């Protein structure tokens, strides 16, 4: 295979990986909103099988106590690791968490929802690995593409391990947040390597540094909003547990100020993106990649507002929860890709090796 063919293959695989990662985020959102995170009590298998059971008759004998014991052993190892790095208080919280002792009841729907999520994750991992292999076709022109692609494979391995911790700790709040932020980091690296491969050696036109700075601010705010939204979800989970899954209409009011703070920050995100949209329309033609990305971003923001309203006034419907996180990730991805294009425009001297 020629070098040019290898580069073309890398770009196609990388683009497919980006799509798969968004699908994976959607699957994760469905898992989270449907409460299927513990549908498979073990990892990487599901009830000790590569293909999960379809009825309780297929379950291992004494499976409840078996997987509780396994979770306790894994959590103790994790707690010891936290002790080594000086996080003794977090380690103590994990050791004292009595919810881990409660066995998860088998639910075929939740089991297969979690299994499909893991399957999509495994396929995404394979494509990330293939991207790392074909990234070496750029070694002479841009070593950064190959290095970052290899780094992403390492991050995916760590993400998989962290996923096992999410299961063993019974969806421990801060671990779920780190899991989400790491997913965004993996997505950002794939988008970056795809963009760098596409624009390498292209002629670049200069643009305003002000637009670049405002785009960077918008991206940072979107990332913070996603992290903040994950914390809101964690608080909602606590409230849902207190109400034993009932009284959904009272979950938001019982969550306290964190939900209203998340909503107020959304207003700030909306305002900064209106400013950015106006600047992009002023400085770029309607057919430019910059204006297309900004139009897409603004459309996603409007849809995000709709799902936010549904969550607020329709007792947190699960489909709106899943849509909310996917839209947030699409906004993040579009803003990051816009930032990369603007960065290329500001650095008119070209792309460094």
Count CA within 13 A, CB hemisphere, residue 96. 6
Contact 20, 127 (CB under 8 A): yes
| Confidence bin at 187 (pLDDT 50/70/90) | very high
The pLDDT of residue 307 is 92
Instruction: For residue 332, give the nearest of 254, 233, 230 by alpha carbon.
Output: 230
The predicted-structure confidence for 289-346, as pLDDT tens digits, reads as follows 999 999 999 999 999 999 988 887 777 788 888 899 999 999 999 999 999 998 765 5
- Asked whether residue 170 carries a pLDDT value surpassing 90, the answer given is no
List domains and CATH numbers for the chain.
Answer: 1-201 (no CATH), 203-353 (1.20.120)
Q: DSSP string of 125-155? A: HHHHHHHHHHGGGGTTT-HHHHHHHHHHHHH
The predicted-structure confidence for 211-245, as pLDDT tens digits, reads as follows 999 999 999 999 999 888 887 777 776 666 666 56
| Confidence bin at 349 (pLDDT 50/70/90) | very low
Average pLDDT over residues 97-105: 73
Query: Which 8-state DSSP code applies to residue 286?
Result: T
The predicted-structure confidence for 265-277, as pLDDT tens digits, reads as follows 889 999 999 999 9
pTM for the whole structure = 0.84
The pLDDT of residue 205 is 56
């Amino acid at each position: 295979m020629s070098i040019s063919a290898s580069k073309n293959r890398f770009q196609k695989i990388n683009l497919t990986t980006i799509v798969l990662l968004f699908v994976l985020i959607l699957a994760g959102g469905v898992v989270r909103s449907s409460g299927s995170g513990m549908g498979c009590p073990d990892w990487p298998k599901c009830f000790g099988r590569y293909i999960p059971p379809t009825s309780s008759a297929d379950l291992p004998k004494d499976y409840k106590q078996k997987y509780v014991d396994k979770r306790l052993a894994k959590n103790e190892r994790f707690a010891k690791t936290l002790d080594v790095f000086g996080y003794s208080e977090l380690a103590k919280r994990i050791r004292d968490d009595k919810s881990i002792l409660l066995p998860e009841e088998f639910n075929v729907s939740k089991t297969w929802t979690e299994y499909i999520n893991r399957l999509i994750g495994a396929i995404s991992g394979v494509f990330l690995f293939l991207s790392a292999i074909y990234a070496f076709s750029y070694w002479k022109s841009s070593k950064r593409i190959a290095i970052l692609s290899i780094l992403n494979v390492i991050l995916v391995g760590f993400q998989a391990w962290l996923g096992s911790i999410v299961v063993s700790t019974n969806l421990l709040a801060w671990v779920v947040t780190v899991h989400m932020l790491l997913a965004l980091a993996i997505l950002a690296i794939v988008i970056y390597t795809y963009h760098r491969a596409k624009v390498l050696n292209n002629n670049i036109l200069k643009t305003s540094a002000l637009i670049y700075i405002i785009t960077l601010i918008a991206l940072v705010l979107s990332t913070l909003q996603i992290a903040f939204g994950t914390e809101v979800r964690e608080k909602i989970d606590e409230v849902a547990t207190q109400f034993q899954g009932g009284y959904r209409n009272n979950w938001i009011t019982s969550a306290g100020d964190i939900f209203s703070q998340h909503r107020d920050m959304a207003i700030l995100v909306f305002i900064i993106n209106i400013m950015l949209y106006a600047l992009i329309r002023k400085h770029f033609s309607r057919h430019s990649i910059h204006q297309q990305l900004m139009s897409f971003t603004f459309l996603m923001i409007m849809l995000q507002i709709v799902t936010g309203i549904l969550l607020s006034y329709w007792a947190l419907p699960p489909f709106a929860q899943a849509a909310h996180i996917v839209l947030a990730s699409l906004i993040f991805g579009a803003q990051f890709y816009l930032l990369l294009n603007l960065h290329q425009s500001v650095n008119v001297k070209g792309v460094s090796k």
